[in-house]
């Protein structure tokens, strides 16, 4: 029998993207809730417990409520919200981080899908911490340029409104309280002693993300050069399908943040010299940063080819 999949929150940006990726597939069955009943708790609970696997594309509190509704021990969950990314009993859905992560996802009943900004930061920092090139207590700084689709329907409407604030044509620095909601998972997953100083930046384009970590090499153990950091990351991710490392200095002298839109690819670009290094994770904030990653995790959990529906 085909596994039954239910998307709770299919009307949101991530839910719609997951739905669009799964609709053409013949190896699963999508369970659809009646439109007039999608906010009916009894009907939602029925769907949540009838599915083999559920995607939660909901605000944090609604995601917690949905998990509490599940009493079928066989229902597996992928939560795309922030609610469970550091929660005990949940596995972090970034299989390329290590063989352990991939194995845990494959057998997990509860997987927390990574946040978009966090995906870029963690892809760069986690291996360097594991390899001893960045100490867990090292003070880190990062910024992340994103398209406005990551803000959901409301922000998309705001940016596409013909009568919008004319300042939207310029880049917009936000999260100025330095307490962005992705910081806890950055710290938790990478095993850091403290969160990085982190600024997200919103651009006037719909999709694409470039998350950059800045390093002073003379403050790192052994003072590795940028070329040595590049080699370390290249070796770490060798053989991965969806995470790759560009040639040192990048594929071209500039980085366009929408380069990988429409893919599930994440590409690391290492630049710098003996004293300074930047590592930029380039990816689609709605692909490897959201719906693509969720489908990849589903493939692992249900025993499909990891690339199914993501080629």
CB-based contact 259:222 (threshold 8 Å):
no
CB-based contact 237:97 (threshold 8 Å):
no
Q: What are phi and psi of 269, to 5 degrees?
A: -125, 115
Q: Catalytic: which of 47, 57, 116, 271?
A: 116
DSSP per-residue letters across 286-309: TIIIIIHHHHHHHHHHHT--TTTT
Q: Is 47 a catalytic residue?
A: no
CB-based contact 109:77 (threshold 8 Å):
yes
**Residue 119's Cα: distance from chain center in Å?**
4
CB-based contact 213:279 (threshold 8 Å):
yes
Task: Find tokens 């939660």 and name the residue.
Answer: 56
C-alpha to C-alpha distance for 71 and 83, rounded to whole angstroms: 19
CB-based contact 276:216 (threshold 8 Å):
yes
Task: Work out the angle between the directed axes of helices 41-50 and 60-69 (0-180°, nearest 10).
Answer: 70
What Å distances lie between residue 141 and 178, 197, 215, 219, 277, CA to CA?
A: 11, 5, 8, 13, 12
259 contacts: CB under 8 Å, gap ≥ 6 = 208, 267, 282
DSSP per-residue letters across 83-102: TTTT-TT-EE--GGG-HHHH
DSSP per-residue letters across 54-68: EEE-S-HHHHHHHHH
Q: Which residues are part of the catalytic machinery? A: 116
């Amino acid at each position: 029998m085909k596994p039954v999949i239910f998307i709770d929150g299919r009307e949101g940006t991530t839910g719609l993207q997951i739905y669009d990726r799964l609709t053409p597939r013949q190896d699963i069955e999508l369970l659809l809730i009646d439109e007039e009943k999608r906010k009916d708790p009894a009907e939602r609970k029925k769907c949540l417990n009838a599915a083999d696997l559920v995607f939660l594309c909901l605000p944090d509190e609604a995601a917690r409520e949905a998990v509490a509704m599940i009493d079928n021990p066989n229902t597996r969950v992928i939560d795309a919200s922030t609610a469970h990314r550091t929660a005990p009993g949940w596995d972090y859905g970034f299989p390329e981080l290590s063989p352990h992560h991939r194995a845990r996802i494959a057998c997990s009943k509860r997987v927390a899908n990574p946040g978009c900004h966090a995906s870029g930061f963690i892809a760069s920092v986690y291996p360097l911490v594991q390899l001893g090139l960045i100490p867990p207590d090292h003070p880190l700084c990062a910024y992340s340029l994103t398209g406005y689709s990551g803000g959901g329907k409301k922000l998309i409407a705001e940016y596409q409104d013909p009568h919008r604030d004319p300042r939207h044509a310029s880049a917009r620095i936000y999260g100025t309280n330095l307490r962005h909601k992705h910081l806890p998972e950055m710290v938790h997953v990478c095993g850091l002693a403290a969160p990085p100083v982190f600024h997200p930046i919103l651009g006037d384009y719909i999709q694409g993300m470039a998350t950059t970590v800045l390093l002073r090499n003379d403050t790192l153990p052994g003072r590795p050069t940028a070329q040595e950091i590049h080699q370390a990351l290249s070796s770490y991710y060798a053989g991965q399908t969806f995470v790759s490392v560009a040639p040192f200095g990048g594929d071209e002298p500039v980085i366009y943040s929408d380069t990988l839109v429409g893919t599930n690819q994440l590409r690391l670009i290492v630049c710098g010299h003996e004293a300074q290094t930047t590592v930029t994770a380039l990816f689609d904030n709605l692909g490897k940063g959201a719906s693509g990653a969720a489908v990849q995790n589903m493939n692992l959990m249900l025993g499909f080819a990891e690339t199914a529906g993501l080629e």
